Amino acid sequence: RIVSAVAAELIDVRKTFGPTVALDRVSLRAYEGEVHAIIGGNGSGKSTLAKVISGVLVPDSGQVSIFGKTATNPSESKALGIANVYQEVLVADECSVLDNLFLGADGLFATAEPREDRYAKAQRILSDLLGFDLDPNAIVGELPLSIKQWITIARGMLTNPRLLILDESSAALDFEATERLFKKMREMKAKGCAIFIVTHRIAELVRIADRATVLRDGVSVGALSKDEITEENILHLIAGPERERA
Ligand code: ADP
Ligand code: MG
C-alpha cells in the first residue's frame, strides 16, 4: 500500500478571542489526495480551525505545519498552495463574474494572465461546476446566492491549490449541485490535492470524507478514519458524554 504524504499537521493548537476559547489542544493530520472533514456543532470552532490551517489566523500556541512549512499570513499561505473558501460568501456585487473569479484576497488581481485566457478558464470551470453555461461578463449582484457560492468555490479552485479548504461551501447548494461539487473534489483528490471540508451536514460528509476531525466546544473529540465515519459515530461524538447519559 502506498502511504500518502502528510499535507497538514496541527499539534496542540489553541486559539482564543478575548475570553472565548475557540480552539484548545487541537491536533490533527491530513493527507494528500484525501478529503478531511471538520465537523461539530455551531460555535464548536470549525471556521476558526479552517482559518488557522490556512494561515489567516495565528494560533496562541501550538504548531501548524502545511507541507512542512508554516504560513502566518494570506500571501504566505497562497505561496504554499493553500486556498480557503470562507464560510461567508464574499463577492463584489458590482463586478462581473470574471473579475470576481480572479480577485485575490487582497482585492487585487491574483493573476497576470491575459483577459482572454482568464475568460476561457472561467467559462470552463463555471460550466463544469454549475452544469450550464454562465456568461463570465454577468454582473454578480443580480445572480442568486447559490451561484455566488459557486463563484467563491471556483475562485479557490482556479488557484490550482495543493490544499483546498471548503467552509460550509455547500450551504446554498441543492443535492444535485452538491453532487457536482463532490465530483470535482474527487478529480482534485486524484491529482493529489488535500481537501478540508467543514460541514454540519453529516449525511453529506459520510459520502465524501476519507477522514474526519470532530470538534466539541473547541476540543477535538474524535479523529475518524474512513470506516469509522458513520452518522451514528459522529452524532455520539458531537453530543458528548453528558447527553449520552441523559
Ligand atoms: P463554527 O465555525 O464551528 O460555528 P467558529 O470557529 O466560527 O465556530 O467560532 C468558534 C467560537 O469562537 C465561537 O464562540 C465564536 O463566537 C468565537 N469566534 C469566532 N471568531 C471570532 C472573532 N473573530 N472574534 C470573537 N469571537 C470569535
Ligand atoms: Mg463556521
Stretch 45-52: mean pLDDT? 97
User: What local confidence, expressed as pLDDT, does residue 106 receive?
Assistant: 52
pLDDT at 137: 96
- 131 in ligand 1 pocket by Cβ < 6 Å? no
What string of DSSP letters covers the chain? Answer: -PPPPEEEEEEEEEEEETTEEEEEEEEEEEETT-EEEEEESTTSSHHHHHHHHTTSS--SEEEEEETTB---SHHHHHHTTEEEE-SS----TTSBHHHHHTB-TTSSBS----HHHHHHHHHHHHHHHHSS---TTSBGGGS-HHHHHHHHHHHHHTT--SEEEEESTTTT--HHHHHHHHHHHHHHHHTT-EEEEEES-HHHHHHH-SEEEEEETTEEEEEEEGGG--HHHHHHHHHHHHHHH-
- pTM of the entire structure? 0.93
ipTM for the whole predicted complex goes beyond 0.90: yes
Name the average pLDDT for the chain: 92
Atom of ligand 1 nearest to the CA of 218: 10
Taking the CA of 43 as reference, the closest ligand is: 1
Q: Confirm or reject: Cβ of 161 under 6 Å from ligand 1.
A: no
pLDDT at residue 112 greater than cutoff 80: no
At residue 115 the predicted structure's pLDDT band, cuts being 50, 70 and 90, is confident
Listed range (6-15, 113-122, 166-175) with the worst mean pLDDT? 113-122
pLDDT digits (tens, 9 = 90+) for 156-189: 999 999 999 999 999 999 999 999 999 999 999 9
Query: Would the pLDDT of 245 be above 80?
Result: no
Percent of all residues in the chain with a pLDDT value above 90, rounded to a whole number: 83
Has residue 111 got a pLDDT over 70? Answer: no
pLDDT at 103: 79
Is the pLDDT at 105 greater than 80? The verdict is no
Q: Is the confidence at residue 190, as pLDDT, over 80?
A: yes
pLDDT category at 244 given cuts 50, 70, 90 is low
Closest Cα to atom 17 of ligand 1: 22
Domains of the chain: 6-245 (3.40.50.300)
Nearest CA to ligand 1 atom 25: 17
Helical packing angle, 145-157 and 175-190, nearest 10°: 0
Residues 6+ apart with CB under 8 A from 53: 8, 10, 64, 66, 82, 84, 163, 165, 196
Per-residue confidence band for 113, with pLDDT thresholds at 50, 70 and 90: confident
- Please say if the pLDDT value at position 1 is more than 60: no
